[in-house]
A and B are shown apart, each in its own frame.
Chain A
């Protein structure tokens, strides 16, 4: 298994254990250590997955944006693998944020789904990047033209985010306002600490998944190159 060594190379020694420990700390913190919210009750503990997932989504889509610029600039298919890996992980975390959000919304708002500004803009983002993955999936992974096309789409999609957020915010607003970023934090210190740990854990997880996924895509690209080489060899 020579290739396996390349996939699980040196950086895999450090990242998975750290991620595992982080996730464990997150679980203990969210389920046991954090105090129960007085008004919302235990279901508020979903926040420790929901908020970091939403942030990991922006991290992943930011990586897609940068990698897509690099695809157009450097014309290197390795960046296309990064963009695809990050997009797929971003869509996964967007789904987590949407699902945990609606499961929180049912007992608190009384409905699973509200056409609220943040929910709606997150849903639109989900659709944009799902379309990106779809476009990339129907084309050949080694097709450079298709890679550039998807890169253009990803760049437009990322630049579209402010418009999506602004238009939907003017359209509807119901989501609890961000209470962490204000000057005087309204969240008690212990909750804030657990949220911090969860955010770190989920970011590590997202990073690890993106790297793993990127290496998988690159493996796929290498396979295409090898197939071409074998064909040439056997024709000769």
Chain B
């Protein structure tokens, strides 16, 4: 019986460890993707704002 408990424990340990590692990897990936998407969206928004501020060619600022 005692020897069996080792196998039971190992089985549950593999399940939890596997789940934990999977979620950890996924979390890391989501975080880096989110950061990158936010950064790019900001850059895009800035570029659009710049484009809006820049007066059209031949405008009054010239």
Binding site for B on A (CB under 8 A): 1-4, 7, 31, 41-43, 45-46, 49-50, 53, 92, 95-96, 99-100, 103-104, 106-107, 205, 209, 212-213, 215-216, 219-220, 222-223, 226-227, 229-230, 233-234
Contacts and interface: CB of A to CB of B under 8 A. Distances in A.
B18 A95 contact: yes
Given A92-B22, A222-B37, A223-B36, A49 B29 contact: no
Given A7-B34, A96-B14, 15 more contacts: A2-B38, A3-B34, A3-B38, A31-B12, A43-B7, A46-B12, A92-B18, A99-B14, A100-B14, A104-B7, A107-B4, A219-B34, A230-B43, A230-B47, A233-B48
Which of B26, B34, B44 has the largest count of A CB atoms less than 10 A from its CB? B34
B40 A226 contact: yes
B52 interface: no
Contact of A103 (B3, B11, B19, B40): B11
Which of A2, A45, A103, A216 has the largest count of B CB atoms less than 10 A from its CB? A103
A205 B23 CA distance: 11
Contacts of A103: 7-8, 10-11, 14
B50 to A, nearest CB: 10
B54 to A, nearest CB: 12
Contacts of B8: 42-43, 45-46, 103
Interface residues of B, number: 29
B37 A226 contact: yes
Contacts of A220: 33
A213 B14 contact: no
Given A49-B15, A92-B22, A213-B26, A106 B37 contact: no
Contact of B29 (A4, A95, A99, A216): A216
Given A2-B41, A223-B37, A41 B14 contact: no
Interface of B: 1, 3-5, 7-8, 10-12, 14-15, 18-19, 22-23, 26, 29-30, 33-34, 36-38, 40-41, 43-44, 47-48
Contacts of B12: 31, 46, 49
Main secondary structure of the interface of A (DSSP, over half): helix
Contacts of A219: 30, 33-34, 37
B15 A212 contact: no
B51 to A, nearest CB: 8
Given A42-B1, A96-B15, A223-B40, A216 B33 contact: yes
A92 B16 CA distance: 12
A49 B14 CA distance: 11
A67 to B, nearest CB: 19
Contacts of A226: 37, 40-41, 44
B11 A46 contact: yes
Which of B4, B40, B41 has the largest count of A CB atoms less than 10 A from its CB? B4
